[in-house]
């Protein structure tokens, strides 16, 4: 009986301590101290960082990842792209490249996830969106989800119909 009472007191004390620590935790912030908003599919879409093409670090990482892809070293390509994404986490182009690398590695679920993440960040980028839907369709088909693959391919074709110039790109 005494052991049970001690166990209940211990559990209660730990629960209260964790609850107190959780309440004191601060929200994650960017390097300049601004709060990072929680991801929500209903959140407003922001445009990619206009400095993406001008970032020497990201440009170097993209060149390195392309070398790894050319050598068939998907794991290193993915690790390199993950570093680029940490530098520019709101750049849908980087998430798409990460999805493509996972597709090459035959990591179907991750490829689908990262392509959908890329699409969640795009605005007025139909070529990027169409390629993401192609990745999703391929990944779903490889997982045996023919209905999901058809739905993704349908979304891709809808974008192509709405933007006929996509086929020339």
Say which residues have a Cβ less than 8 Å from residue 27's Cβ, sequence separation at least 6.
35, 36
Does residue 115 contact residue 155 with C-beta atoms inside 8 Å? no
- Measured CA to CA, the distance from residue 50 to residue 72 in angstroms comes to 30
Structure tokens at 83: 């570093």
Inform me whether the pLDDT recorded for 24 exceeds 80.
no
Inform me whether the pLDDT recorded for 130 exceeds 50.
yes
Q: What is the pLDDT of residues 37-61, one digit of tens each?
A: 333 333 333 334 455 555 889 999 9
According to DSSP, residue 29 is labeled B
Inform me whether the pLDDT recorded for 23 exceeds 80.
no
How large is the average pLDDT for residues 96-114?
97
Q: Considering the chain, what percentage of its residues have pLDDT values greater than 90?
A: 62
**6 vs 29, residue with greater confidence:** 6
Q: What mean pLDDT value characterizes the chain? A: 78
Inform me whether the pLDDT recorded for 148 exceeds 50.
yes
- What pTM, to 2 d.p., does this model score? 0.67
């Amino acid at each position: 009986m005494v052991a049970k009472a001690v166990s209940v007191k211990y559990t209660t004390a730990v629960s209260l301590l964790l609850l107190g620590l959780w309440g004191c935790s601060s929200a994650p912030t960017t390097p300049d101290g601004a709060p990072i908003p929680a991801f929500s599919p209903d959140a407003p879409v922001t445009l990619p960082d206009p400095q993406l093409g001008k970032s020497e670090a990201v440009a170097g990482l993209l060149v390195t990842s392309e070398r790894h892809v050319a050598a068939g070293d998907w794991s290193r390509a993915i690790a390199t792209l993950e570093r680029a994404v940490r530098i520019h986490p709101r750049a849908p182009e980087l998430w798409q490249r990460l999805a493509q690398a996972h597709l090459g590695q035959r990591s179907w679920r991750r490829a689908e996830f990262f392509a959908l993440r890329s699409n969640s960040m795009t605005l007025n980028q139909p070529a990027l969106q169409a390629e993401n839907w192609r990745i999703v369709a391929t990944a779903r088909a490889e997982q045996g989800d023919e209905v999901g693959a058809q739905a993704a391919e349908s979304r891709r074709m809808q974008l192509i119909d709405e933007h006929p110039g996509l086929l020339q790109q």
